[in-house]
Amino acid sequence: MFSKHSMAIGSIAKSMRTMGKGSWAILAALLTLCAASAVVCYLGWISAAGTDVSRAGYAALVLGVVCSLVVGVGLMALIFYSSRAGYDEPARLVKDDQFRGIRDSDREF
Protein backbone atom coordinates (compact mmCIF):
# COMPACT_ATOMS: atom_id res chain seq x y z
CA MET A 1 0.00 0.00 0.00
CA PHE A 2 2.72 2.48 1.03
CA SER A 3 6.11 2.56 -0.58
CA LYS A 4 9.29 2.26 1.47
CA HIS A 5 10.17 5.83 0.56
CA SER A 6 6.98 7.31 2.02
CA MET A 7 7.36 5.16 5.15
CA ALA A 8 10.91 6.43 5.65
CA ILE A 9 9.78 10.04 5.27
CA GLY A 10 7.02 9.41 7.79
CA SER A 11 9.54 7.96 10.23
CA ILE A 12 11.82 10.97 9.84
CA ALA A 13 8.92 13.37 10.30
CA LYS A 14 7.83 11.51 13.45
CA SER A 15 11.33 11.65 14.94
CA MET A 16 11.59 15.37 14.14
CA ARG A 17 8.35 16.03 16.01
CA THR A 18 9.71 14.30 19.10
CA MET A 19 13.03 16.19 19.15
CA GLY A 20 13.62 18.32 22.22
CA LYS A 21 15.12 21.79 22.44
CA GLY A 22 18.62 20.41 23.00
CA SER A 23 18.43 18.29 19.86
CA TRP A 24 17.32 21.29 17.81
CA ALA A 25 20.18 23.35 19.27
CA ILE A 26 22.72 20.67 18.34
CA LEU A 27 21.24 20.42 14.84
CA ALA A 28 21.42 24.20 14.42
CA ALA A 29 25.05 24.26 15.62
CA LEU A 30 26.04 21.48 13.20
CA LEU A 31 24.30 23.16 10.26
CA THR A 32 26.05 26.43 11.14
CA LEU A 33 29.42 24.66 11.19
CA CYS A 34 28.63 23.05 7.83
CA ALA A 35 27.74 26.41 6.30
CA ALA A 36 30.88 28.03 7.75
CA SER A 37 33.01 25.21 6.30
CA ALA A 38 31.43 25.74 2.89
CA VAL A 39 32.21 29.48 3.05
CA VAL A 40 35.85 28.83 4.03
CA CYS A 41 36.20 26.30 1.19
CA TYR A 42 34.77 28.79 -1.30
CA LEU A 43 37.07 31.59 -0.12
CA GLY A 44 40.09 29.26 -0.27
CA TRP A 45 39.17 28.16 -3.79
CA ILE A 46 38.77 31.75 -4.98
CA SER A 47 42.01 32.97 -3.37
CA ALA A 48 44.03 30.14 -4.99
CA ALA A 49 42.87 30.92 -8.54
CA GLY A 50 45.74 31.14 -11.03
CA THR A 51 48.37 29.42 -8.89
CA ASP A 52 50.35 26.43 -10.08
CA VAL A 53 51.09 23.30 -8.06
CA SER A 54 54.64 21.97 -8.20
CA ARG A 55 55.58 18.32 -8.65
CA ALA A 56 56.36 18.10 -4.95
CA GLY A 57 52.84 19.36 -4.23
CA TYR A 58 51.28 16.68 -6.41
CA ALA A 59 53.53 14.05 -4.82
CA ALA A 60 52.46 15.17 -1.35
CA LEU A 61 48.82 15.06 -2.44
CA VAL A 62 49.14 11.52 -3.81
CA LEU A 63 51.04 10.37 -0.72
CA GLY A 64 48.38 11.85 1.57
CA VAL A 65 45.54 10.20 -0.34
CA VAL A 66 47.29 6.81 -0.40
CA CYS A 67 48.10 6.95 3.33
CA SER A 68 44.53 7.94 4.15
CA LEU A 69 43.18 5.06 2.09
CA VAL A 70 45.58 2.58 3.73
CA VAL A 71 44.53 3.71 7.21
CA GLY A 72 40.82 3.61 6.31
CA VAL A 73 41.00 0.17 4.69
CA GLY A 74 43.12 -1.15 7.56
CA LEU A 75 40.69 0.07 10.21
CA MET A 76 37.71 -1.36 8.32
CA ALA A 77 39.54 -4.70 8.03
CA LEU A 78 40.20 -4.69 11.77
CA ILE A 79 36.53 -3.96 12.48
CA PHE A 80 35.48 -6.81 10.18
CA TYR A 81 37.99 -9.22 11.77
CA SER A 82 36.97 -8.17 15.28
CA SER A 83 33.32 -8.76 14.51
CA ARG A 84 33.96 -12.17 12.93
CA ALA A 85 36.33 -13.33 15.69
CA GLY A 86 33.83 -12.58 18.47
CA TYR A 87 35.78 -9.76 20.10
CA ASP A 88 32.67 -7.57 19.96
CA GLU A 89 30.67 -9.81 22.27
CA PRO A 90 29.52 -8.22 25.53
CA ALA A 91 31.78 -8.72 28.52
CA ARG A 92 30.87 -11.33 31.10
CA LEU A 93 32.20 -11.99 34.56
CA VAL A 94 34.56 -14.96 34.82
CA LYS A 95 35.40 -16.05 38.35
CA ASP A 96 39.03 -16.80 39.08
CA ASP A 97 38.26 -20.49 39.79
CA GLN A 98 36.43 -20.85 36.47
CA PHE A 99 39.44 -19.42 34.71
CA ARG A 100 41.71 -22.04 36.28
CA GLY A 101 39.29 -24.88 35.56
CA ILE A 102 38.46 -25.61 39.20
CA ARG A 103 34.90 -26.78 39.82
CA ASP A 104 33.00 -25.90 42.98
CA SER A 105 32.76 -29.64 43.84
CA ASP A 106 36.58 -29.93 43.84
CA ARG A 107 37.13 -27.02 46.24
CA GLU A 108 38.26 -27.68 49.76
CA PHE A 109 36.62 -25.47 52.34
List the chain pLDDT tens, one digit each, 109 residues: 456 666 677 777 777 778 888 989 999 999 999 999 999 999 998 998 888 889 999 999 999 999 999 999 999 999 998 888 877 777 777 666 555 665 555 555 5
| Angle CA 47–53–55, to nearest 5 | 165
pLDDT the model gives residue 11: 77
pLDDT the model gives residue 41: 95
CA–centroid distance for 21 within its chain: 25
CA–centroid distance for 27 within its chain: 18
Q: Which amino acid is at 56?
A: A
pTM exceeding the 0.85 threshold for the entire prediction:
no
